[in-house]
Amino acid sequence: MLKCLKLSSDGRNTKFVCLSKYKSRSTSRWSLYVVQISSNNIYFVLVIVCFQILVTV
């Protein structure tokens, strides 16, 4: 599961926040990413991995 939310766009850079969930039989892991895409669309920059939450189900 991957959900993305557009934060801002100033003509040169576009920033997204993406939340992904990985679930196995015993655990669920959430990851939050901040992604910046430049105007030339050639490269994707993964700016920071904010946090990872490991939840025991």
pLDDT for 55 equals: 53
User: Mean of the pLDDT values across residues 7-33?
Assistant: 79
* Domain range for 8: 2-56
pLDDT band, residue 20 (cuts 50/70/90): confident
Residues in Cβ contact with 15 at an 8 Å cutoff, skipping those fewer than 6 apart: 6, 7, 8, 9, 34, 35, 36, 37, 47
Give the chain's domain count: 1
pLDDT tens profile 43-57: 555 444 444 555 544
Mean pLDDT of 30-43: 70
